[in-house]
Structure 1
Amino acid sequence: MFGRMQLSEKITMNLLLLILGAVWVIPMIYLVMYSFEGDGWGNYQAVVSLELFPHFLINSFIVSTSVVLLLLVVVSLAAFGFSKLRFPGDSAVFAICLIGLMIPPVAMLVPLFQTIKSFHWMNTYLSLIGPEVAMSIPFSLLLARNAFDEVPGELLEAAEIDGSNAWGRFVHVMLPLAIPVLTTIGILAFLNSWNQYVLPLVFISKETMLTVTMAPKFFIKEYTSDYHKVFAALVLITIPVVILYIFGQKYMQRGLTSGAIK
């Protein structure tokens, strides 16, 4: 279907990729350079020696890990149901689930605030975990269902003939084959949760419950701001994300292309 690319096409493609890469890399280079201006390594030392910084790291890790685990459980079960278990109105329910892709997260802040307040979840981990899981479900469900659709129905029929029930077919057949896409969903959920800024800003007022994305604001005062330490904090926040992406990029590529070919 696809022929070999000519030399001119390869050069054009590589130039476009180089430009796109520069758009992302150049700001990161400036970020690192500015973080060393002023006190040099002292900027990083000031961030790490911040009294609440360990609390920020622990809170972010707890929230991000909880989001990943809960999202994977919900999405894998829902994708299996929509893909392999037929029930009346399944297409309509699936379409309703995807409506969340069309709603900007900022537009849901007011109803989310009222919901979190009525549940008495303010200044708790649930105020960060619940909304993040809910907002991640539509896209994650779309990826997972496409991947589950690729699994031949004959495998499930063979398992059923061997006496396996629906739960057994899900655990022993579907889950092992869906590891790439579930890994992708987990990585994306962890990155989104770790980088989340708006939810802690709105739902958390207790300093010991803040996440790591709130660390830079401690160097921004009413009349003076030490932006070099702010940049240092941003670099430290980014390091876990970069490391996770480096080790998980091959799974993300496989997971994002699952369901692309029928």
Structure 2
Amino acid sequence: MARRPVTWYIATPADGIIEMSRHAGTPVNLAANVGQVVDHPKPCTNLWFDESPFSYFRMVKCVGETLEDTGIWPVTWPIRLWIVEPVGETGNWSPHHYPYRLLAHQIRVIEETEPWPALGARGREVLDVVHRQIPQRAAQWAADWDADPEGMRERLWNWELCGGQNSGSGKWARAMALTTSHSRRESAAQRWSERLARDIVDQALAGTDVSRNARHYASGRAADLTVAAQHQARFDAYILDSLRGNDLNRVVVA
């Protein structure tokens, strides 16, 4: 049986320039070189050592890890995702620890593709949470905390350590998500999504008088909600309801 061709990816900011090449003062614009072979402007002489901030092209075959080690900061969206092909000699820091990575001094830029898979197999759903759901919920999460800080602190403690009748503990659910992201090669996707979610909360609560603890609580709720979206097709309700904070949403009637 013929082996399935490997697809290699590189992520860039919206202008198409590899961020590490920008930092090194030798910007490489993938958007301007679609269909072309691009030579590294200053390749390392000792393969594959970091002799400068940008010593080689870095690409990955697991699209959920594309946003790892890009140099893009702060975390932003949209990004652009490119399918590339290595040309000439290639290498790897460690085939055992980084089997999904490849390093090269020449690449062919095949085409631009949709960026959402960089946030995992359910990247579209993650973006819906980030851009539509979190802005609508952030203020309520913060208000819930400030309305009863001691009560919410106790409920958060119970959620993190004990869970509820129909959902697991928050710490356990988060650990399951981290383990699954690692095994599915979507660790970078999860970290990026969580950071996007927290940034949206900061924007939604900017200029308000909510407390620092309320902001922190809302930020955590937002991050967990994106993780639930990322793994929606992989987990059952016992884990998903914990990540969604269903027990934290429930109003306790005396």
Same fold (TM over 0.5): no
Q: If you compute each CA radius of gyration, which structure gives the higher value, 1 or 2?
A: 1
Higher percent of residues as strand: 2
Per the shorter chain, which TM-score range? under 0.3
Higher percent of residues as helix: 1
TM-score, normalised to structure 2, is 0.25
Larger RCO (alpha carbons 8 Å, 6+ apart): 1
TM-score, normalised to structure 1, is 0.24
